[in-house]
Structure 1
Amino acid sequence: MSIIQAIEQTENNAKSISASVTQIRFYEHTLLKIDHPKCQAAISLQGAHLLYWQPVNTPTPVIWLSNKTLFKKGTAIRGGIPICWPWFANVSSPSHGFARIVDWQMSQVIETAEGVEIVFTLCNNQDTQQYWPHAFELTMTFKLGTNCEAHLSCSGDFEATSALHTYFGVDDISSVTISGLGDNYHEKLSTVNPPKVIGQMTFDQEVDRIYSAAMPETLITDSHRTLKVSHINNSDVVVWNPWVERAQAMNDLDDDSYQHFVCVETCRVTKPIQSTSTEKTHFALKVEVTASS
């Protein structure tokens, strides 16, 4: 049984939130299961973390979740859309910030015939103070149906880097082409892996790259569908896949799972978020399935 099947079959401490949204307990996490006529999905309150999303017109999840992810309190989830904030990468501890390892509050659920909108909030508190001594307010809004939208807004007097670190499910990484990336990038690995076509990416080894002049829309094409990812108010797009050796070294990935996902991340890295206490700043992504067989 896959981890997604296990979540969908769990009724532990089930509580109905709306016609299509149920709150459950899954290991050490509180989750919201979405079973709507337009899609299936789940979100963990830890990190306001979208775990997976699968519209009804696709045979496999578009947003991918590792079968070996650890649903332990305070441990990052492998897959879905982790919220990296208020820093990106390992510039401080914990890596990718603390927003993804603390609990958020669910503040609103709106359901229509087209899907569900769920809003989460996080403010500075005793848990966050140990990581970052600033006052802040974050709002994460998901709109889930045939399409998937994720909007992060923040307020407070600070500068921050951030990413919506999305894991996209693919049939076979060796058949994937990503386009719309632009020609300006920072290579984070020591290996030389120049693109065969400027602005595009194909995969035959580990990739970890920050594109700082990407197009507003990125296309992820594999053998069975094309995904259009729209980036809103971002400065960068990061592409990452661990390939064979690194995947084998990670305890929350199956050895061969690198074949079935690619991270295309909507980021504010080279141009950090400049937030104030009087005006909210935001960035977002939208995912559409534009072709399927």
Structure 2
Amino acid sequence: MSIYKEILDSSLSGVSLSPSVKQSIYGELPILVINHSTCCAAVALQGAHLLFWHPSTEQTPVVWLSNKTNFKKTVAIRGGVPVCWPWFGQLGNPSHGFARLVEWKLDSCEEDENGVDLVLSLTNNPQTESYCNKPFSASLNLHLGKTCEVSLSCSADFDVTSALHTYFGVDNIDRVVVKGLGEAYQERLAAENKPTTVGQLIFNQEVDRIYTNASNRITITDGNRTIQLTNTNVSDVVTWNPWINKAKSMADFGDDEYKSMVCVEAGCITKPLKLLPNKKSTYGFKIELI
């Protein structure tokens, strides 16, 4: 049984928050399962983590989740849209920040014929003090319908780097072409053989890059469908695929799952967010099939 079906089945014993949204438990984590006429999706309260999403016209997820991922408290979820905050990568401990490891509060759940709108928030509390002893406020807004829209707003008296680390589902990585990234990038691999880019990115080995001058509109084509990613207020776009060897080394990732996913991430990394205590800074994206 796929992890998607297991999560959907968990909602059968869940509590209804609205006609299309149920809250249930999967593994150790509370989750929200969305079955709306426009889409199917799920969100974990830990990390305000969008687990998967696809419009009702599609049978396979556009936002992808690993079948091997853990659903344990304070353990990162592999797939979906991890919220990397208040730092990206190895700039602090834990990697990619603490926001994805702690439970967020569900502030609102509303729906209409166009989809479901969720707002989740995180402020400094005893659970976050071991990671950060300064006050902060963050909120994640999600619109889940025919399109998927995610925005992160935050305020604090310190600078942050951040990314919405989206995993996209693809038919076969060998046929994937990502366009709109531009040519300027930072290579995050030590390997001598670099993937070739001539105005677009294809995948024939491990890729880990930060593009620093990407278009606001990026397309991901796999031969069967085209996903359009429209970013707002981002300085960078990260691309990642672990390829064969790294996939085999990851306990929460199937050996062959690199073939069915690609990460294209909206972020503020090379230009950190200059936060103020009483003013929200916001960035985000919109996903749609075209």
Smaller-chain TM-score range? over 0.9
Task: Describe the shift of the 1:114–1:222 C-alpha distance in structure 2 as closer, same or farther (beyond 3 A).
Answer: same
Listed as ranges, the matches of 1:155-174 within 5 Å are 155-174=155-174
Q: Does 2:152 align with 1:152?
A: yes
Q: Does the 8 Å contact 1:13/1:25 carry over to 2?
A: no
Aligned to 1:91: 91
TM-score, L = length of structure 1 = 0.97
Does the 8 Å CA contact 1:241/1:262 hold for their aligned counterparts?
A: yes
Aligned residue type for 1:86: P
Equivalent runs, 1:231-270 vs 2, <5 Å: 231-270=231-270
Deviation at 1:105, TM superposition (A): 0.2
Residue identity matched to 1:225: R
Structure 1 SS opposite 2:6: helix
Query: Given that residues 164 and 265 in structure 2 are in contact (C-alpha distance below 8 angstroms), is that contact kept between their aligned partners in structure 1?
Result: yes
Cα deviation 1:1-46 (Å, max 9, x = unaligned): 0011001111475110000000001110000000000000000000
Q: How does 1:84-233 map to 2 (within 5 A)?
A: 84-194=84-194, 196-233=196-233
Displacement of 1:58: 1.5
Tell me the residue number matched to 2:283: 283
1:198 to partner: Cα distance: 2.6
Contact 2:182/2:199 (CA < 8 Å) preserved in 1?
yes
**Contact 1:66–1:252 (Cα < 8 Å) also in 2:** yes
Alpha-carbon displacement from aligned partner over 1:44-97 (angstroms, at most 9, x marks no partner): 000000000011111210000000100000000000000000000012110000
Q: What is the Cα deviation at residue 221 of structure 1?
A: 0.4
Q: Distance in 2 between matches of 1:192 and 1:288?
A: 35
CA distance in 2, matches of 1:264, 1:53: 15
- Structure 2 counterpart SS, 1:126: coil
Structure-1 separation of matches of 2:118 and 2:144: 8
Structure 1, gaps ≥5 residues long: none
The 8 Å contact of residues 52 and 65 in structure 2, kept in 1 or not, is answered as: yes
Identity of aligned residues (%): 48
2 CA distance for matches of 1:131 and 1:147?
34
Query: 1: distance between equivalents of 2:278 and 2:31?
Result: 32
- For residue 98 of structure 1, report the CA deviation from its aligned partner: 0.2
2:24 corresponding residue in structure 1 = 24
The separation in 1 between residues aligned to 2:89 and 2:124, in whole angstroms, is 21
In structure 2, relative to structure 1, the CA distance for the partners of 1:197 and 1:94 (3 Å cut) is closer
Q: CA deviation at 1:156?
A: 1.6
Secondary structure, in 3 states, of the residue corresponding to 2:128?
A: helix
Secondary structure of the residue aligned to 1:128 is coil
Instruction: Report how many residues are paired.
Output: 290
Match of 2:43 in 1: 43
Offset at 1:188? 0.6
Using a 3 Å threshold, how does the CA distance of structure 1 residues 193 and 202 change in structure 2: closer, same or farther? farther
Q: Secondary structure at the match of 2:79?
A: coil
Please report how far the alpha carbon of residue 148 of structure 1 lies from its aligned counterpart in structure 2 after TM superposition.
Answer: 0.2
TM-score normalised by the chain length of structure 2? 0.98
CA RMSD of aligned residues (A): 1.0
Paired position in structure 1 for 2:58: 58
Tell me which amino acid in the other structure corresponds to 2:235. S
